[in-house]
Amino acid sequence: MTLKEKNLKPPFWFKLDNAAKIFPGQNSPTWSSSFRVCFEMKEDIDPVLLQQAVVDVMPRFPCYDVQIRRGFFWFYLEKNPNTPSVLPDINNPCYRVNFKENNRFLFRLYYHNNRVSVDMYHVLSDGHGGAIFLSTLVAQYLRLKGHQIPVGGFVLDIEQPARESEFEDSFVKNATSKAKYKRADKFVYHPKGTKLPPHTINIISGTIPFDKLHKLTKEKDVTVTEFLAALMLQILIKKQSLEKKHQKEVSIQIPIDLRKHFNSDTLRNFTICLRVKIDPNRGEYSFDDLLRQVKYQLRLAINKQDLNMMITANMGIERNPIVRAVPLAVKNLSVGISFAITAEQTTSSLITNLGLINIPDEMKAFINKALFMPPAGIVNSSRLGVCTCNNNLVITFANSYEECDVEREFFTSFVKMGIPVKIESNKE
């Protein structure tokens, strides 16, 4: 049911969803909670038409047409009366959000030659929401150029108002488990390197044919995400063995989109992070061993009951009456201290796979590929985002170190498997 059918207007303000609440407290000079979604078009971008497309689509996304405000107990999102601007792209995307810059919007829209990108602050949404926003924007841009682009998949109908379910907090709605969830994560291995200046990112993207990789993963009876996680584990285990005598656990963080598990179409955050772990002290692992370990660990955890238990555990702090009564300044200080001590210490790397960006065939004719990139970490240096469009699977590393040996080993592995890779970098 749409807001129009219920005779309602879009809300003037929103509470932050459960996942979003931690990000303002983590917003520091050395850390970013933004991610990037990008389309590479077949023709150069016209910034004037792109700006008009932004104006056209914003009413369809009331949960992004906002600015962040500070309440006494919590941050909240309020309707932004300004208009977002499109900007020439920068060399180091996903830098720290400043709440007063960019007309107070929590996303930045960029263009460069034939690329259009959105850097979105995680307070607004996760990669799924960011991809729907950019897909709808690019579809409208193509219409302004005179092309007939239908709605469907990630392209929303901008002539229709937002559905109420699109800006719900699906964490609140689905946190119903009565089971207890205990976290028991160790501090793990992190590769060392030469640190780049804050908010300077070493970006390396590799484009491979999706059908070739998919054929290989089917032969191995694993998903693409499971395959990539096992490959990253293999590289980090080998790297640690060459660096240290004392071997720590190696852990990969993998965000899971909860929408299909809980029948949600929210455009706000609705993911939860799982970890796959290997302890090298238990012995040597072949690549097939790692594939089995990743497959079993993930599939054991990905069921509606356990996911509900984790959602409910995350909601527990927010629902605690003592925590609710604590002023925002104290909450922020607590989050900041906790993050400074434990940030990324329980993960060696992160792999976030957006999957297939589902756009109409009429739109695919104007697009070469899509990219998805997480922010660079502080200690887990090589973090990677993955997405697929037009049979191009693009793996994008965001690295806060000068060294690129992990990325080199990662992409070389595909070549050895007979899968071609086209490499691009912001160092070029």
Mean pLDDT, the chain, as a whole number? 90
In the predicted structure, residue 31 carries a pLDDT above the cut 90: no
Distance separating alpha carbons of residues 20 and 99, to the nearest angstrom:
15
372 beta partners: 37
| 67 inside domain | yes
Q: Would you say residue 2 has pLDDT above 50? A: no
Listed range (202-206, 265-269, 400-404) with the worst mean pLDDT:
400-404
Assigned domain for 132 exists: yes
Is 190 within a domain?
A: no
CATH number of the domain to which 382 belongs:
3.30.559.30
Asked if pLDDT for residue 9 goes beyond 60, the answer is: no
Is residue 136 over pLDDT 70? yes
pLDDT at res. 223: 97
> Which of 234-248, 279-293, 308-322 has the least mean pLDDT?
308-322
Least-confidence region, from 192-196, 203-207, 277-281, 361-365 = 192-196
Q: How confident is the model at residue 8 (pLDDT cuts 50, 70, 90)?
A: very low
> Residue 326's pLDDT is what?
73
316/423: higher pLDDT? 423
Q: Quick check: is 44 in a domain? A: yes
Q: In terms of domains, do 265 and 378 share one?
A: yes
Same domain, 406 and 294: yes
Cβ atoms of 77 and 20 within 8 Å: the answer is no
Cβ pair 119, 227 in contact under 8 A: no
Domain count, the chain: 2
Query: Are 206 and 421 in contact, with CB atoms under 8 Å apart?
Result: yes
pLDDT of residue 119: 97
Same domain, 312 and 357: yes
Identity of the highest mean pLDDT range in 25-29, 207-211, 308-312: 207-211
In this prediction, residue 341 has a pLDDT band, given cuts at 50, 70 and 90, of low
Residue 247, judged by CB atoms within 10 A of its CB (0-12, 13-18, 19+), counts as: middle
- Per-residue confidence (pLDDT) for residue 244, from 0 to 100: 74
Calculate ∠ Cα 95-99-103, nearest 5°: 100
Q: Domain span at residue 92?
A: 13-169
Q: Identify the band that residue 331 occupies on the pLDDT scale cut at 50, 70 and 90.
A: low
Specify whether 119 is located in the same domain as 217: no
HEC readout, 174-196: HCCCCCCCCCCCCCCCCCCCCEC
Range of lowest pLDDT (60-69, 136-145, 343-352): 343-352
For position 12, what pLDDT does the model report? 79
In the predicted model, is pLDDT for residue 157 greater than 70? yes
What's the chain's Rg over C-alpha atoms? 21
| Burial per residue of 222-239, b for 16 or more beta-carbon CB atoms within 10 angstroms, e otherwise | bbbbbbbbbbbbbbbbeb
Residues 164, 266 within the same domain: no
Helix (H) or strand (E) holding 368: strand 367-373
| Whole-angstrom distance, CA of residue 57 vs CA of residue 337 | 39
Compute, in degrees rounded to 10, the torsion defined by CA atoms 203, 209, 215, 218: 30
For 157, the 3-state DSSP assignment is coil
Judge whether 73 lies within some domain.
yes
Instruction: For the chain, give the percent of residues with pLDDT over 90.
Output: 71
* Residue finishing a domain among 127, 146, 169: 169
Q: What is the pLDDT of residues 73-98, one digit of tens each?
A: 788 999 999 999 999 999 889 988 88
Give the CATH number for residue 39.
3.30.559.10
**Same structural domain for residues 308 and 161?**
no
pLDDT above 70 covers a percentage of the chain that reads 93
Q: Domain for residue 8, yes or no?
A: no
* pLDDT band of 428, cuts 50, 70, 90: low
Instruction: Give Cβ neighbours of residue 95 (< 8 Å, ≥ 6 apart).
Output: 32, 34, 199
347 and 284 belong to one structural domain: yes
Same domain, 208 and 162: no
User: Which band of pLDDT confidence, cut at 50, 70 and 90, is reported for residue 127?
Assistant: very high
Residues 298, 395 within the same domain: yes
pLDDT for 225: 98
Cβ contact 276:298 at 8 Å: yes
Task: Answer yes or no: is 2 within a domain.
Answer: no
Mean pLDDT on 173-191:
84
Q: Looking at residue 340, what is its pLDDT?
A: 61
Position of tokens 């040996």? 405
Average pLDDT for 229-248: 92
Task: Tell me the whole-structure pTM to 2 decimals.
Answer: 0.94
Q: Is 22 left (phi over 0), alpha (psi -120 to 50) or beta?
A: alpha
The answer on 227 and 163 residing in a single domain is no
Do 87 and 210 reside in the same domain of the chain?
no
Q: Domain for residue 7, yes or no?
A: no
Of 72-86, 140-154, 306-320, the least confident: 306-320
Would the pLDDT of 348 be above 70? yes
Looking at the structure, do residues 329 and 233 belong to the same domain, yes or no? yes
Among residues 169, 185, 210, the one where a domain terminates is 169
Q: Span 195-215, mean pLDDT? A: 92
pLDDT at res. 336: 63
